[in-house]
Amino acid sequence: MSPDVRLAESANAFAQRHDGWEDIARSYAALSEALFISGDDLLAIVGLVLRRRHWVAASALSVVAAAAAVAVAAVIARVVDRPRPFVDHHRIHLFLAHAPDPGFPSDHATAAFAIACVLLLRLGPRALPVLLAAAALAVSRVLVGVHYPGDVLAGALLGTAAALLVCLIAANPPRRLARVRSWSIGATGATP
Q: Are 94 and 143 in contact (CB under 8 A)?
A: no
**Cβ count near 98 (within 10 Å):** 17
Secondary structure in 3-state letters for 100-132: CCCCCCCHHHHHHHHHHHHHHHHHHHHHHHHHH
Q: Cα 64–70–76 angle (5° rounding)?
A: 140
SS3 content of the chain, % helix, strand, coil (to 5): 80, 0, 20
Domains of the chain, with CATH numbers?
A: 3-188 (1.10.606.20)
CB atoms closer than 10 angstroms to residue 185: 12
* Spatial separation of the C-alpha atoms in residues 60 and 41, rounded to whole Å: 9
Q: How far apart are CA 5 and CA 8, in angstroms?
A: 5
Helical axes 3-17 vs 128-143, angle rounded to 10° = 90
pTM of the model: 0.88
How many Cβ atoms are within 10 Å of 20's Cβ, its own excluded? 8
Start-to-end CA span in the chain (Å): 55
**DSSP letter assigned to residue 65:** H
Q: Is 96 helix (H, G, I), strand (E, B) or coil?
A: coil
Please report, for the chain, how many H helices and E strands are present, in that order: 8, 0
pLDDT tens by residue, the chain, 192 residues? 789 899 999 999 999 899 889 899 999 999 999 999 999 999 999 999 999 999 999 999 999 999 999 999 999 999 999 999 989 877 888 888 889 899 999 999 999 999 999 999 999 999 999 999 999 999 999 999 999 999 999 999 999 999 999 999 999 877 665 555 555 454 444 444
pLDDT score recorded for residue 176 = 60
